[in-house]
A and B are shown apart, each in its own frame.
Chain A
């Protein structure tokens, strides 16, 4: 493959044009594979949370919590509600940190016409400072509950190593009260951006819990009427390998492409938003369903608002716990876990032998699920702008890709666009 001789960047896009018609779009991802599913084989059942955390430095808690759930499921253990609440609190921190990073440092510069946040800060310092403050508030939850923000150390199968103290939680409450104001201001700011008017038509897939907005639990539902338990995930979704990318491509068993992430979560669950978040969404002009990928920045801001309110609620109701963790003795079996990582549904499955050794692991991250929809969006988008000069087309395509906040968003800053005209 000639493309492997590239010197820079982990993503490239190839568009084939026949006359005036875009016939094919390929988004090639060159993220060097790290083979997590292979290296987990032979590890102990207590290890996947820390190991899979290293898949992504931006959403490590998502990997840790999903791994814990799947292993507890394999071992037949359900953690008590007070520990589940702390997991949800930790996860709120990650949503705030990850969404603030994406909104302010990656996505807003596209809307305001800057190359990046550092350039944007020269003209909009208070705006960038607000983003960094919000991000820091999210990281503070991760640091208090997890010990540090990147790859927290306090999460374990069965719960936590140590419980937070009352005074730590009280201090967090102050930070979060201020963060809530910043979050509401964020919704107002991004709602005023010039959002291109466009809609896409793919199927939305997200978790839906019995109560509240989906974060760390729920059944899997879709806009096409799917509704199943997490253990049926691999019956509903297939992952295919394509020769031009190291990211696998997922589709529904019927062959349809689908989308996970903030747009899907919001459209399938907005009735479960907290009062302030719901109000902010309405004021920003979001209806009950959002099909404009460019408006995902507004949805993220609404979700940050929700995460702040939800974190405050959990801290307010916290009564302590009998123990930091419950025992999870190993047994042979298979377990499933799914949570809503900031970028969308994340699925883990582990098979254990009777001594607790992992014999098989399956991890389906959000980016591979969204790959086909991103390609589809790009095709429609390029078709409508086929006359643009290439540098401008490249810049705009990068923005389309950043709408989805893919894990390759950083490398998408170096989208290498090839137009093949026939």
Chain B
């Protein structure tokens, strides 16, 4: 049987939990693939190399920068899962600030804390075979990715925007109908357009999609009355360090380095 490993770096565990949340598919999956390393689920460890490694979390410490290299070395295929692993996650807000300020807001003795000044995606450290977006990732997409890699094929994950998903499920556009600012036009599909179906604008927890125009969306937000610092913050949240969003946010006041 092929071997699957799941590794955790700086994260909330939500993306790897998504695997355990595949309640109906979990046990059938374990009939097809050996869960060789997954500390959230088992203390058993089968020796590497592993056919497929899923990595959740971003790189934030010197030790983790070393550990991700070792993970890559024992993995035939490596897929980073979630905003943390693919873009640095919410903790990448430190990249736009002074890490000393952040650390002293939490710890009386920041000098005891061994941390890097930035939170970076896995791909900034080692080559990755595929990146799956989401904060958290979607469980059906996760299953698609696992099944595809176990068959040695590329997973079929659409790269259009959340807007397309709203059309598919027949949700009326919240920005057009209600003037609610929505990140859908620049956000990678995958969630099924959940927020607009709850009457809320998308806040881009799936990150930037491939062909996007952040400039025109930011203009739209301004037209809808959103103040500059709010525009900056909207682009600087769960995918703050993803290049298209980082660039856009730094163009608005309150969004300086």
Q: Which residues of A contact B (CB under 8 A)?
A: 1, 4-10, 30, 32-39, 41, 43-44, 47, 50-51, 54-58, 60, 101, 105, 109, 115-119, 121, 125, 128-129, 132-133, 135-136, 139, 147-151, 153-154, 156, 161-162, 240-241, 243, 246, 248, 324, 360-361, 395, 398, 410-411, 413-414
- Residues A4 and B63 in contact in the complex (CB < 8 Å), given A33-B113, A150-B21, A162-B198: yes
Neighbour of A8 across the interface among B67, B101, B194, B198, CB < 8 A: B67
Q: Are B70 and A54 touching (Cβ within 8 A)?
A: no
CB distance from B109 to the nearest CB of A (A): 5
Question: What is the total number of residues of chain B having a CB less than 8 Å from a CB of chain A?
Answer: 69
Q: Which residues of A contact B61 (CB under 8 A)?
A: 4, 32
CB distance from A101 to the nearest CB of B (A): 7
- CA separation between A240 and B42, bound complex, in Å? 32
Q: Which residues of B contact A132 (CB under 8 A)?
A: 23-24, 26-27
Q: Are A50 and B203 touching (Cβ within 8 A)?
A: yes
Q: Are A38 and B102 touching (Cβ within 8 A)?
A: yes
Q: Which residues of B contact A56 (CB under 8 A)?
A: 12-14
Q: Are A9 and B13 touching (Cβ within 8 A)?
A: no
Q: Are A105 and B10 touching (Cβ within 8 A)?
A: no
> Nearest CB to that of B180 among chain A residues?
A161
Q: What 3 A-B pairs have minimum CB-CB distances, sorted nearest first? A: A57-B14, A116-B42, A38-B102
- Residues A38 and B18 in contact in the complex (CB < 8 Å), given A4-B114, A154-B200: no
Q: Which residues of A contact B67 (CB under 8 A)?
A: 7-8
Q: Are A147 and B195 touching (Cβ within 8 A)?
A: yes
Neighbour of A58 across the interface among B17, B42, B103, CB < 8 A: B17
Q: Which residues of B contact A150 (CB under 8 A)?
A: 14, 17-18, 21, 136
Q: Are A33 and B21 touching (Cβ within 8 A)?
A: no
B199 contacts chain A at the CB level, 8 A cutoff: yes
Q: Which residues of A contact B198 (CB under 8 A)?
A: 147, 153-154, 161-162
Q: Which residues of B contact A360 (CB under 8 A)?
A: 105
Q: Which residues of B contact A51 (CB under 8 A)?
A: 90, 237
B172 contacts chain A at the CB level, 8 A cutoff: no
- Extra A-B contacts (4), CB below 8 Å, given A54-B14, A156-B200: A38-B103, A109-B42, A148-B194, A162-B200
- CA separation between A327 and B41, bound complex, in Å? 42
Q: Which residues of B contact A149 (CB under 8 A)?
A: 21
10 examples of A-B residue contacts, CB within 8 angstroms:
A34-B60, A38-B106, A132-B26, A150-B17, A153-B200, A153-B205, A154-B200, A410-B13, A411-B8, A411-B39
B238 contacts chain A at the CB level, 8 A cutoff: yes
Q: Are B103 and A133 touching (Cβ within 8 A)?
A: no
Q: Which residues of B contact A246 (CB under 8 A)?
A: 113
Q: Are A413 and B42 touching (Cβ within 8 A)?
A: yes
Q: Which residues of B contact A117 (CB under 8 A)?
A: 41-42
Q: Are A128 and B27 touching (Cβ within 8 A)?
A: yes
Q: Which residues of A contact B170 (CB under 8 A)?
A: none
Neighbour of B12 across the interface among A54, A101, A135, A240, CB < 8 A: A54
Q: Are A151 and B60 touching (Cβ within 8 A)?
A: no
B87 contacts chain A at the CB level, 8 A cutoff: no
Q: Which residues of B contact A60 (CB under 8 A)?
A: 12, 14
Q: Which residues of B contact A118 (CB under 8 A)?
A: 27, 30, 35, 41-42
CB distance from A349 to the nearest CB of B (A): 13
CB distance from B238 to the nearest CB of A (A): 7
Q: Which residues of B contact A119 (CB under 8 A)?
A: 42, 44
Q: Are A1 and B21 touching (Cβ within 8 A)?
A: no
- Residues A6 and B63 in contact in the complex (CB < 8 Å), given A43-B233, A147-B194, A151-B14: yes
Q: Which of B91-99, B123-131, B156-164 participates in binding chain A?
A: B91-99
Q: Which residues of B contact A37 (CB under 8 A)?
A: 105-106
